[in-house]
Amino acid sequence: MITLRYLREIGACAEGRSAFEKAFPGGGEYQTVLDKCTEEGRMDFASWLLQKVGPTDDVRTYEDQIDDENMSICFAGTLILKKGAKVKCIEAGGGIKAGAGI
C-alpha cells in the first residue's frame, strides 16, 4: 500500500505528492498507483516510484499485440507480451518477455 506518508519518507517531490493525494486520498495499491501515473502521462512519476519501491513477483500477460504509440506501461512485476508491443514507453521491475518485437 502506498500512502502519502510513505511517499514523504522516500523523498517524493511536492508535485508528485500533490497528484497522489488528489488521486488516492486514502492511499493506493502499488500497481494501481503505477497504472494511474502512466494513464495521466506521468511515466516519470511511475518510473521513480518503481525504482524506489522495487519489483514484485506479479505477472501481467498480454495475449494480443499492443499497438498504441501514445501508451506507456510501468509494471512492478514481469510483463509477458506474447505478440509484442508498439508503445511510447515500457518498463518492468521483474523483466519483460516478448514473443515479438517491442
pLDDT tens for residues 75-98? 999 999 999 999 999 999 999 999
> Can you give the pLDDT at residue 36?
97
Question: How far apart are alpha carbons 47 and 45 in whole angstroms?
Answer: 6
> Can you give the pLDDT at residue 90?
96
- Are 86 and 69 within 8 A, CB to CB? yes
pLDDT tens for residues 36-73? 999 999 999 999 999 999 999 999 999 999 999 999 99
Q: Is 27 exposed, middle or buried (0-12, 13-18, 19+ CB in 10 A)?
A: middle
> Can you give the pLDDT at residue 101?
87
DSSP-based three-state secondary structure for 48? helix
